[in-house]
Amino acid sequence: MDLTPNIESYLSERGDWVKSRELCERFEVTERQLRAVDDRPGLCTMIAISGNKGFKHISLATSAEWDEHYARERKHNIMALKNLRAKRRLRMTLTRQLQNLVVERESGQILMAGIK
């Protein structure tokens, strides 16, 4: 059962920040279920902003709260992409280096092959 509409109604009725612990207790879910996991949105992903104070319905967020949320999410996602690119470059470098290794048959020593 999708609890998102129920949580959305509750956040709208409250009209302010609601601690994640309160949402978890009220709707019998874990804190992880409120947030996105892998490529699936969490119960609050599309209906609320989150911050140190908990969750607040997106329609009730002030302009300042929205701007802060937007900037934080944008920064997080940009950093995730930068880290992913860096890991891909590192993997490509390591893979190339491993392809240049030669195992000496008699001794079993690993040697660097000549660079072509």
* 24-41 confidence digits (pLDDT tens): 999 999 999 999 888 889
Q: Which CA distances in Å does 95 have to 40, 56, 113?
A: 31, 46, 14
**Is the domain of 89 the same as that of 44?**
no
**Is the domain of 55 the same as that of 27?**
yes
For the full predicted model, state whether its pTM sits above 0.75. Answer: no
**Is the domain of 71 the same as that of 54?**
no
pLDDT of residue 45: 93
3-class secondary-structure state, position 37: strand
Q: Is there a domain that residue 109 lies in?
A: no
Number of domains within the chain: 2
**Is the domain of 77 the same as that of 34?**
no
Mean pLDDT of 69-88: 96
The whole domain housing 20 covers 1-60
Mean pLDDT of 45-58: 95
**Is the domain of 53 the same as that of 14?**
yes
**Tokens matching residue 91:** 């993997």
